[in-house]
């Protein structure tokens, strides 16, 4: 699913950091290094990015017509 727009705890806007965070991870940075480089210091905001599970690609591959039994 999509990353939440704001941190649930402190209400800081965090969605704009997500793409940069993922790009840094792909470049070989660790999670801690990526968050430090983006200057995300609050533990609650760090948690929002660290614990996010992106399942949007898996959902895009699903074809609803095949998964739903149309027999009535």
Spatial distance between the Cα atoms of 67 and 54, rounded to a whole number of angstroms: 21
Which domains occur in the chain, in start order?
15-62 (1.10.10.60)
**Which residues are CB-contacts of 50 (< 8 A; sequence separation ≥ 6)?**
31, 35
This prediction has a pTM of 0.75
pLDDT digits (tens, 9 = 90+) for 20-58: 999 999 999 999 999 999 999 999 999 999 998 888 777
67 — pLDDT class (breaks 50, 70, 90):
low
Residue 60 vs residue 41, higher pLDDT: 41
| Residue 59 pLDDT class (50, 70, 90 cuts) | confident
């Amino acid at each position: 699913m999509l990353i939440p727009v704001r941190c649930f705890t402190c209400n800081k806007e965090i969605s704009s950091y997500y793409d940069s965070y993922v790009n840094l991870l792909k470049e070989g940075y660790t999670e801690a290094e990526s968050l430090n480089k983006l200057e995300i210091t609050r533990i609650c905001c760090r948690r929002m990015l660290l614990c996010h599970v992106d399942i949007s690609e898996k959902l895009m591959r699903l074809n609803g017509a095949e998964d739903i039994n149309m027999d009535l």
